[in-house]
């Protein structure tokens, strides 16, 4: 019996979010003060995309996500969960308003991070197309 792409999305989000939370903490508290925020985000990005690749590959197989539509749904739902978590954490940890959070996406480090988040969202579809 096939599993819902939403269950796969929740698992994918949870795995990558846990890694991102840990790496993000190190980035903000240790790396960014040394090299700047943009360079720190760029250093974290390949690690997150590599982890996303392996997690998406494993979970699409584990949850039997075989169609492009289900893979796109998995990635889109995981991306939506990630963005929601980002907004909630930003508000809870630093008191950032939604408009401020959205504006920060269009700063240089924010655009690098957004590109990585979009890559995370597309990854399930990409790994399914690769076979």
Q: Per-residue pLDDT tens for 43-85?
A: 999 999 999 999 999 999 999 999 999 999 999 999 999 999 9
**pLDDT digit string, tens, across residues 105-127:** 999 999 999 999 999 999 999 99
Q: Which residues contact 63 (CB under 8 A, 6 or more apart)?
A: 2, 3, 4, 5, 7, 8, 11, 74
Q: List the chain domain ranges.
A: 5-130
Helix (H, G, I), strand (E, B) or coil at 106: coil
């Amino acid at each position: 019996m096939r599993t819902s792409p939403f269950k796969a999305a929740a698992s994918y989000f949870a795995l990558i979010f846990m890694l991102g939370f840990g790496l993000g903490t190190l980035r903000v508290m240790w790396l960014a003060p040394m090299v700047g925020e943009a360079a720190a985000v760029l250093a974290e990005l390949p690690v997150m995309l590599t982890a996303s690749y392996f997690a998406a590959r494993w979970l699409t197989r584990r949850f039997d996500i075989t169609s492009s539509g289900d893979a796109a749904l998995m990635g889109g739902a995981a991306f939506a969960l990630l963005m929601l978590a980002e907004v909630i954490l930003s508000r809870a940890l630093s008191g950032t308003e939604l408009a401020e959070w959205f504006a920060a996406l269009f700063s240089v480090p924010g655009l690098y991070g957004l590109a990585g988040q979009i890559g995370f969202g597309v990854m399930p579809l990409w790994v399914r197309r690769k076979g």
